[in-house]
Structure 1
Amino acid sequence: MTGPDVSRSGKRAGFDWPALIRAGLLGLRLQPDQFWRLTPAELRLMLGQDSGVAPLGRAGLDQLMQAFPDLADSNSTALDPANPDPETRAPSTTGAMSHE
């Protein structure tokens, strides 16, 4: 019998089976036979990994800020941090529709 596979860094290679089994049986409430029939990709998906788009990075934020700059409006306090309450803001003259 041989020992566990160990990578060059000295860490165990492969899956963390105890954590995966706990996640599948306790977290996802799978039956053992359901858990063992899953592929690693299916388990990752069910656990919420590899799902969705990567979070917005700095480059993406810079692109959005360039495409949609904050415009100062002398008749509006919408960008005034001293007056954050939308109920007391002066009406904007930027062509916004009235909600009355």
Structure 2
Amino acid sequence: AINFWQIAKDIPKTGANNAGKARNTNPSFTTLGPTMRLHPLFQAILAIQTAKVFSSDDEERLMMDVFRGYNYLIQPVKNISDTPIIVKIALQLVLLINV
């Protein structure tokens, strides 16, 4: 994912205030001129629009293809007399806060 906030922060500024200061030498940032700097509101709109572009029904189609013909009543064992399979499911919620 592209972090537009980081890109805008790392783009070297031009002008008299920055004369003689070290510039970012990363070619991906130095090739962008001052007109290519993204306004924060534009960045937010672009991020929302990009999220819509990448969303699709691919996951649902994959699940339908994988489980086509699957019978959940059949136990996946060699012999029906085998002991039942024990399935343990754990869920962990992690909250990350950017400070």
TM-score normalised over the length of structure 2: 0.24
Bigger RCO of structures 1 and 2 (CA < 8 A, at least 6 apart) = 2
